[in-house]
Amino acid sequence: MFSQSSLGSRAAARRRLPHAELEIDVEEAAGLRAVIVRGELDVSTAPELDAALDTAPAQPLDLFVDLSALEFMDCAGAHRLAAAGSHQRARGRQFAIACAPTGEVARLFETLAASGLELPVFPSQADALRAALAPPALARALSHDAGAINPSR
């Protein structure tokens, strides 16, 4: 169900369930893995995200996750993203999430930030991509300037 392609062509992983639909596109180029997620990310579809987020240790990549078209996410999805962020940091790699600044997914990130779990969430694809490609010190500065999603920053 999961395949990879270079930036420019798309590969999709699709899983149709009675109550939830998730579509994931994964693209890799120039040391970056872009994971584009659409639909609903919940406990029944979160395992689909695991394979997409896994960057092989033999080929460490920076990770950009685009949730701009995600309609719903529960704590299972947030847990997968937090784990991916920790994994990326442990390997010295960048991690950034793009999320629309309003809606259910943005509210979940705001709630998580208020409870102490801050993820590198940016209000636009361009901002998140810039952070994912930036040197570590600049990425941290960009993350602190992205207050539109995580108000506690």
Q: Domains of the chain by range and CATH?
A: 5-144 (3.30.750.24)
- State yes or no: pLDDT of 12 exceeds 60: no
Q: Which residues pair with 5 in a beta bridge?
A: 27
Cβ atoms of 48 and 22 closer than 8 Å: yes
- State yes or no: pLDDT of 18 exceeds 80: no
Q: Which residues pair with 6 in a beta bridge?
A: 28
* Banded model confidence at residue 1, pLDDT cuts 50, 70, 90: very low
Report pLDDT for 135: 82
Cβ atoms of 145 and 111 closer than 8 Å: no
